[in-house]
Structure 1
Amino acid sequence: MSSYILGKTDIDHEKLKKDLKIHDSFPKIEEEYDEFGTGFWQNCSLWNATDDKNDTMYRDYDHAIQQTEYGQKLAYVDELIKENFTFDNLKMVRTRNLVDGMVIPHKDFVELTKEKSQYFRVFVPLEDNELAFHSDEENVFKMRKGEVWFLDAAIIHAAVNFSSDSRIFLCLDYAFPGEFSPEDIFVKKDTYNPNVSPYIVPRQDVPENFEADLIRSLSNVISRYNFKDIVFLLSKIHFYKNVPITSCYDVLVKIAEASGDDAIYEKAISLRKYLIEKRDLKERFSMAEWPSPLKV
């Protein structure tokens, strides 16, 4: 699979509990790419390019990584990072939480300058959640507490939490100048163990007419009022139905075209391009703005 387990870390649950309580006091700020998510989606910068805790933009830079106020407050998480992961080529460390929501299918790094193979994103779940899942172009999978995962963010991927319970992850972003081995991220090389079996989520097969029925039914429903709702509905389907992760945007475009509304069709085309094809650094996209004001 494109995303895979790199190994496993030992976590001191009592020490972590104290940090998670402190983490609860961190506010949710507007994300650089809030349009990717729905529900409670929080990213807290622990280490980044500027030492500003409100700087959540992942980007290329060529100086040493800086610890933020949030990183200094989470003493055990800081210990966990330093004991397990190297700081060579480390560009950003965040906690990421998603509650009763999802991050829709998208590609990362499309706005950056290096070869995509040089970016290496690592996830470490700090909490277990039976209803929180990730996906990529091959599978839907559940990351379990303490596992160290490579998440292939250069291909289309997504995340969902179908519950109202927290599921805080550590996210470490590396950018290597050239060839590297995944074990290079670890302080102790024997931590690298890609043979740990992942939890792959079983999904239901769909009938042959599944896509055609979706297009026919939703083309009669979609409007400028519910465009975003339809996007997120379609984005959830691949988590439990055996359809490609990309199908949400392909079906969305077909639904929009069948609706007869040119503005909806153009919005669907533009959204697919923005999320999985090409966008510029700091470029934003709105699902709520339309060529003419909405009228009730």
Structure 2
Amino acid sequence: MPSYIFGKIELDDTQLQKDLEIVKGFPRISEEYDEFGTGVWINNSLWNASQDATDTMYRDFDYPAKQTEYGRQLPYISKLVTENFNLEYLKMVRTRNLIDGMVIPHKDFVELNKPKNQYFRVFVPLEDNQHAFHSDEDNVFQMKKGEIWFLDAAIDHAAVNFSTESRIFLCLDFAFPGDFHPSEIFTNKALYNELIKPTIAKREQLKPEAVEHMIQSLSQIIDKYNFKDVLFMLSKIHFYKDVPVSAAYDWLEEITRRSGKEELLDKTQKLRKYMIEKRDLGERFSINDWKELTA
């Protein structure tokens, strides 16, 4: 599978819990890519390019990441990072939480300049949540507390938390100047372990006639008032039905085409391009902006 486990850290729950309480008290700030998610989606920058905790944009730069004021408030999490991970190629560290919401299918790094295989995104769950899942082009899976995962963010992927419970993850972004082995992210190569079995979600088959019925029915009711609702509903289906992660965009394009509403079809095609094909650094796309439409 494109995303995989390659290690595990034993966490000190007492020290960790103190830091997590501090994380939960950080103010929620506007995200660089708020359009990707719904529900409560919080990213706190602990290390980044600017040392500014309000800077949530991942971008290319040619020096090690700098710790922010948020990172300095988390002694145990900071220790986890500095004692276990190679800081030379570390470009960003965030805590990420998603509550009662999802991040719709998208690709990362499309606005950056390096070859995509030089970017290496690592997740370490700091909390367990049986209702939270990630996906890539092959599988839907759960990341368990302390596991070290590579998430292939350069391909279509998504995340969801079907509950109102927290699921704080540590996200570490590395960028290498050339070819590398995943073990190079560790200060102690003994952490590298490919033998840990991942938790893969079992998904039901989705019959073609059910897809046709869904598309035909939604084409009769979709409008600017429920466009976002339909998008996020379609994006959830792959988490429990065995369909590709990007199927939501195929379905939405056919739904809007059959609706006969050219504005909706145009919006869908631009959305697809932005989320999984190409966008510029700093470019924004508003799902809710319908200034070009009349009631």
| Range into which the TM-score falls when normalised by the shorter chain | over 0.9
Equivalent in the alignment of 1:41: 41
TM norm structure 2: 0.99
**Separation in 1, partners of 2:112, 2:145:** 30
Equivalent residue runs for 1:72-111 within 5 Å? 72-111=72-111
| Separation in 2, partners of 1:243, 1:95 | 29
- Residue pair 1:224, 1:294 contacting (<8 A) in 2 also: no
Q: Any conservation in 1 of the 2:126–2:170 contact (CA below 8 Å)?
A: yes
Cα distance in 1 for partners of 2:242, 2:90 equals: 35
Deviations for 1:240-289, whole angstroms, at most 9, x for unmatched residues?
01111111000100000000000000000000000000000000001122
CA distance in 1, matches of 2:72, 2:237: 39
Q: CA deviation at 1:294?
A: 4.2
* Structure-2 residue corresponding to 1:284: 284
Q: For residue 217 of structure 1, what is the aligned residue in structure 2?
A: 217
Residue 51 of structure 1 corresponds to which residue in structure 2? Answer: 51
Structure 1 unmatched ranges of 5 or more: none
SS at match of 1:238: helix
Alignment of 1:2-151 (within 5 A): 2-151=2-151
Of the structure 1 ranges 35-44 and 77-86, higher mean CA displacement relative to structure 2 is found in 77-86
* Inter-partner Cα distance in structure 1 for 2:172 and 2:64: 15
CA distance in 1, matches of 2:146, 2:107: 25
Distance in structure 2 (CA, Å) of the matches to 1:96 and 1:168:
6
Kindly indicate whether the alpha-carbon contact (under 8 Å) linking 1:101 and 1:160 is maintained by their aligned counterparts in 2: yes
CA shift for structure 1 position 291: 5.0
Distance change (3 Å), C-alpha of 1:77 and 1:230: same
Q: Distance between the aligned counterparts of 1:42 and 1:158, measured in 2? A: 15
Match of 1:172 in 2: 172
Amino acid paired to 1:186 = F
Identity of aligned residues (%): 60
CA distance in 1, matches of 2:64, 2:193: 28
**RMSD of the TM alignment (CA)?**
0.8
How far does residue 64 in structure 1 lie from its aligned partner after superposition? 2.7
Q: Whole-Å Cα distance in 2 between the matches of residues 71 and 237 of structure 1?
A: 36
Q: Which amino acid aligns with 1:137?
A: E
In 2, distance between residues paired with 1:146 and 1:205?
32
Please give the alpha-carbon distance, in whole angstroms, between the structure 1 residues aligned to 2:191 and 2:85: 10
Shift of 1:112: 0.1
Task: State whether structure 2 residue 239 is matched by structure 1 residue 242.
Answer: no
Whichever residue aligns with residue 43 of structure 2, its letter is N
Specify the alignment match of 1:198 in structure 2. Answer: 198
Q: Specify the SS of the correspondent of 2:88.
A: coil
Within a 5 Å distance, the mapping from 1:226-237 to structure 2 comes to 226-237=226-237
Q: In the TM superposition, what is the alpha-carbon distance from 1:293 to its structure 2 partner?
A: 4.6
User: What's 1:254 paired with?
Assistant: 254
* 1:208 equivalent in structure 2: 208
SS state at 1:42 partner: strand
Q: Secondary structure at the match of 1:233?
A: helix
Q: Verify the 8 A CA contact 1:53 1:68 in the aligned structure 2.
A: yes
Structure 2: gaps of 5 or more residues: none
* SS of the residue 1:290 aligns to: coil
**Offset of residue 71 of structure 1:** 0.2
CA distance in structure 2 between the aligned counterparts of 1:292 and 1:143, rounded to whole angstroms: 41
Deviations 1:177-198 (A, max 9, x none): 0010000001110100011000
Instruction: Give distance in 2, aligned partners of 1:176 and 1:191.
Output: 19
